[in-house]
């Protein structure tokens, strides 16, 4: 492999550019040389070198600071338009050359990203295995005898092998998550409508999402910041709503898992072992595992291929299919043909049934912050998949098919390796519009596992950037730092929990505060004041809580003088609301700053 390859995470390549170690033109030349020989059937269309160099030189002519994705190479699933390049949806007879790129592709290119080519896929995005393509079976990045997962097979393998830093796929039933799990990647399926679908050949238009394959959840969050946004030209585009809570920061969180009897691993003991180990891992990170009834999710999953949504696949390519159904390969042709048996009344019955199921499934969110499942219960060889393409494909969708029907956001995260060296992944899911908190949580899990990136062998040593996620998350919550009687377990903590407050983290302030015991207060309270640069200060222990914005007013109204709410700086530089004391009140108060903690003062006083 060329010495510049494999590539790793986005930030690593940007750092090389910033240090003058590489140029985008050098990177695209190395990629082009590597992908000429495509034994794994990753690509349907590779851009010629002159096109790649043209893109690279256009990027190099601009200021790096103005392009958040300066020179970052990426791959595009071949049902997503790139201007001037054929879109086939893995069906040669369907091929057309778009005049405009898909909205998301154009946004990424405007940010400096360089497209390398169009990737292989299950034809018309119908399948989760990656074997349903006339362009050849895309092979797993770890073992070529095994499936890569689908339908976004080539997009996943291109990243896993380090040929690009990220790629675009699509996800209707798991196509952006199953290939991620099988290739040791992050596969992010956003809330429906957060990424525009203009310029994408649909599978089920009302359900489809553009998905993103990356090495890390942090990369996915950075790409989301660039590519997301309301698109008036996409009838399914949605305005993003506020995040409810950043549970990625919480020291204690609740995660739902299917009951043991509802888990399916299809005879794969390794997958079962790894999933059980992952539950233990989350508990060690502060999580509480809560068994949930998985039956509503499974019922929703069955609707996707046993209900009238199959008719939507037919609607997506109806005119082409009527004229050219012989050009559609088996079993894709049979699946789409089966749509004929559904009537308009069946479609409405399906919609009504889905509303009922969703109401049942949504009940879990009052008990858990996140749903955790295997991404797939097992993985199959290419030979086994070709011999039994329908039932084995159904097995692959056991934990994925329901996600878009129920309007959840999800991310597949690497979670270890089987004894035979094949990757295993889990999926984290949350209600719609909680994507950045979801990605923050995924990043936290990734850092704890510290697995190599894809199949590159690169060990990621970067530290988790909590501040990045704090800046990305638009929240209808307010963060509040407490240092005294409102701390967990102390007399006034109930004023927070009664207002649906949740503890995010235990940390310290920046080292420019002093803490006093206000002796005249009942119950006894501390007073924290900010000192100027000429005074000696201390870092004071605080808890950071989140409260719904609507609860803040009544909380603040109950705070007596000399205390009030101001803005304090945490040790990591983040600024949050917090308790501060008026200066006059500490003149005769006891200075306990050296203890650095109200709890420590109480312990000594009670000792």
Please state, in angstroms and as integers, the Cα–Cα distance from residue 592 to each residue in 540, 584, 600, following that order.
10, 17, 9
Write the DSSP symbol of residue 146. Answer: B
Whether residue 341 is predicted with pLDDT greater than 90 in this model: the reply is no
pLDDT tens-digit map of 464-474:
887 777 667 65
Angle at 244 between CA 241 and CA 247, to 5 degrees: 130
Pairing mode, strands 590-591 and 563-569: unpaired
The model's pTM is 0.84
Domain positions in the chain: 10-471, 476-606
Q: What is the pLDDT of residue 1?
A: 39
What is the average per-residue pLDDT within 190-215?
97
Q: CA angle, 200 as apex, 197 and 204 as ends, to 5°?
A: 80
Crossing angle of helices 295-306 and 344-361, in 10° steps, is 160
Q: Which of 155-159, 303-307, 511-515 has the lowest mean pLDDT?
A: 303-307
Distances from the Cα of 10 to the Cαs of 166, 214, 462, in angstroms? Answer: 8, 9, 12
Which one of the listed residues 151, 153, 211, 237 is annotated catalytic?
A: 151
- 77 catalytic per annotation: yes
DSSP 86: -
Select from 572, 579, 559 the least CA-distant residue to 516.
579
Dihedral sign of CA atoms 362, 367, 370, 376 in order: negative
- How does the average pLDDT of the chain come out, rounded? 94
Residue whose structure tokens are 């998905």:
211
Q: Where are the beta strands (DSSP E) in 42-126?
A: 43-46, 73-77, 114-119
Average pLDDT over residues 498-523: 86
Residue 39 corresponds to which tokens in the numbers above?
């034994």
* Residue for token pair 């889990």: 426
Architecture of 476-606 per CATH? Roll (3.10)
Name the band, by pLDDT with cuts 50, 70 and 90, for residue 249.
Answer: confident
pLDDT digits 0-9 by tens, 209-231: 999 999 999 999 999 999 999 99
Radius of gyration of the chain (CA): 26
Question: What pLDDT was estimated at residue 607?
Answer: 64
Q: Which of 46, 77, 118, 502 is catalytic?
A: 77
The yes-or-no answer on residue 175 being catalytic is: yes
Closest of 527, 547, 534 to residue 484, by C-alpha: 527
Identify the pLDDT of residue 606.
79
Catalytic annotation present for 206: no
Q: List the strands of the sheet with 563-569, edge to edge.
A: 502-508, 541-548, 477-482, 575-581, 563-569
pLDDT digits (tens, 9 = 90+) for 36-56: 999 999 999 999 999 999 999
How does DSSP classify residue 64?
G
Q: Which CATH superfamily is domain 10-471 in?
A: Amidase signature (AS) domain (3.90.1300.10)
Most confident of 190-194, 303-307, 519-523, 545-549: 190-194
Pick the catalytic residue from 175, 211, 237, 470. Answer: 175
Pairwise CA distance, residues 408 & 225, whole Å = 19
Bigger pLDDT: 249 vs 223: 223
Cα dihedral: 554, 559, 563, 569 (round 10): -40
């Amino acid at each position: 492999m060329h010495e510049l390859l494999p590539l790793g995470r986005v930030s690593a390549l940007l750092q090389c550019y910033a240090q003058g170690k590489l140029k985008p033109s050098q990177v695209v030349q190395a990629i082009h040389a590597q992908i000429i020989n495509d034994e794994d059937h990753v690509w349907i269309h590779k851009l010629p070198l002159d096109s790649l160099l043209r893109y690279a030189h256009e990027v190099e002519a601009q200021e790096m600071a103005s392009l958040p994705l300066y020179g970052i190479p990426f791959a595009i699933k071949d049902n997503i338009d790139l201007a001037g390049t054929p879109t086939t949806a893995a069906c040669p007879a369907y091929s057309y050359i778009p005049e405009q790129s898909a909205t998301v592709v154009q946004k990424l290119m405007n940010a400096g990203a360089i497209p390398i080519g169009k990737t292989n896929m299950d034809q018309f995005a119908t399948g989760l295995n990656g074997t349903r393509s006339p362009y050849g079976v895309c092979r797993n990045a770890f073992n070529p005898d095994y499936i890569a997962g689908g339908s976004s097979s080539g997009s996943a393998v291109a990243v896993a092998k380090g040929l690009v830093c990220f790629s675009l796929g699509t996800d209707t039933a798991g196509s952006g998550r199953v290939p991620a799990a099988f290739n040791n990647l992050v596969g992010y399926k956003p809330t429906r409508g957060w990424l525009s679908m203009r310029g994408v050949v649909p599978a089920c238009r009302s359900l489809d999402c553009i998905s993103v394959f990356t090495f890390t959840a942090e990369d996915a969050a950075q790409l989301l910041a660039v590519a997301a946004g309301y698109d008036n030209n996409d009838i399914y585009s949605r305005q993003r709503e506020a995040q409810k809570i950043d549970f990625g920061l919480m020291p204690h969180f609740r995660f739902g898992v299917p009951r043991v009897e509802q888990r399916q691993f299809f005879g794969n003991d390794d997958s079962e072992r790894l999933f059980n180990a992952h539950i233990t891992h989350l508990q060690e990170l502060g999580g509480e595992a809560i068994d949930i009834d998985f039956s509503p999710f499974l019922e929703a999953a069955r609707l996707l291929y046993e209900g009238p949504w199959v008719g939507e696949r037919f609607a997506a390519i109806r005119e082409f299919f009527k004229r050219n159904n012989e050009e559609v390969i088996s079993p894709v042709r049979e699946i789409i043909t089966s749509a004929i048996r559904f009537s308009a009344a069946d479609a409405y019955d399906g919609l009504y049934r889905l509303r009922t199921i969703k109401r049942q499934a949504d009940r879990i969110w009052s008990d858990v912050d996140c749903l955790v499942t295997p991404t797939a219960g097992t993985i199959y060889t290419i030979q086994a998949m070709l011999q039994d393409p329908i039932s084995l494909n159904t097995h692959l969708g056991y934990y994925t098919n329901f996600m878009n029907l129920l309007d959840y956001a999800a991310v597949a995260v690497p979670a270890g390796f089987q004894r035979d060296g094949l990757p295993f992944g889990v999926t984290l899911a949350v209600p719609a519009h909680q994507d950045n908190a979801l990605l923050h949580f995924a990043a936290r899990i990734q850092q704890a596992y510290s697995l190599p990136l894809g199949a590159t062998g690169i060990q990621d040593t970067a530290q988790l950037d909590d501040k990045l996620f704090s800046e990305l998350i638009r929240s209808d919550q307010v963060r509040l730092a407490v240092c005294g009687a409102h701390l967990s377990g102390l007399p006034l903590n109930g004023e927070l929990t009664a207002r649906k407050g949740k503890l995010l983290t235990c940390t310290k302030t920046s080292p420019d505060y002093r803490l006093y015991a206000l002796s005249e207060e009942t119950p006894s309270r501390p007073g924290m004041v900010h000192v100027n640069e000429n005074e000696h200060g201390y870092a004071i222990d605080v808890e950071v809580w989140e409260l719904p914005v609507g609860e803040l007013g009544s909380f603040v109204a109950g705070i007596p003088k000399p205390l009030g709410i101001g803005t304090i700086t945490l040790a990591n530089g983040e600024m949050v609301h917090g308790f501060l004391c008026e200066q006059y009140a500490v003149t005769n108060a006891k200075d306990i700053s050296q203890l650095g903690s109200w709890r420590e003062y109480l312990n000594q006083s009670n000792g």
